[in-house]
Amino acid sequence: MSNNPVRLIYPKRHGDARGWFTEVYSVPVFEALGITCTFVQDNHSLSAPAYTLRGLHFQRPPHGQDKLVRCVRGRIFDVAVDIREGSPTYGKWVGAELSADNGHQLFVPVGFAHGFVTLEDDCEVSYKCSDIYTPECDGGIRWNDAQIKIDWAMPAGTIPELSGKDAVQPLLADFDSPFAYDGRPLEPLA
């Protein structure tokens, strides 16, 4: 299990008349931030309609995944939920807007469920994972669980576009967590 914190990352952009350049991942930079995992898989998704919601997802051990998430087209609201058994912040969440314009990234460690909602049409999200996708370890929590109370940054009354799987994920109360608390509570994003 990872002992990395949930972190909002602000890569520097170097711009001129041509546009900008940014370094989105560097081992020494991330190690200085306390993020020490090794990424082995990159994923990329397109969500055509605004208010497409993907999540809340995770992978169980032995194939738990740290994720480094960024929005490369459009805007999303990205969320991490603490699902580590015994954590004082179990069931609590943090979220941030990630966009192609702001270039921010969210690091979501093993032991946290991850999800996002698109805030406009045609959003593309790219994320790195520290383990390969393993279907038998795939898991999730219901996106609208009243115990977690995520404010998804959608207009009141909006019904998000969901996959069939995400519409019927279990509630947190029915979830038996395989993730142990590592001594680091979830902290607000800086």
Query: Choosing from 51, 104, 114, 127, which is the catalytic residue?
Result: 127
| Two structure tokens written together for 15 | 């711009």
- In terms of Cα–Cα distance, which of 57, 114, 113, 89 is closest to 184? 89
Q: Which of 44, 51, 57, 133 is catalytic?
A: 57
Active site residue 127: yes
- Indicate the burial class of 63 (C-beta count within 10 angstroms; 0-12, 13-18, 19 or more): middle
Q: Give the integer Cα–Cα distance in Å for 180 and 78.
A: 23
Torsion angles phi and psi, residue 113, rounded to 5: -80, 145
* Residues forming the active site: 57, 127
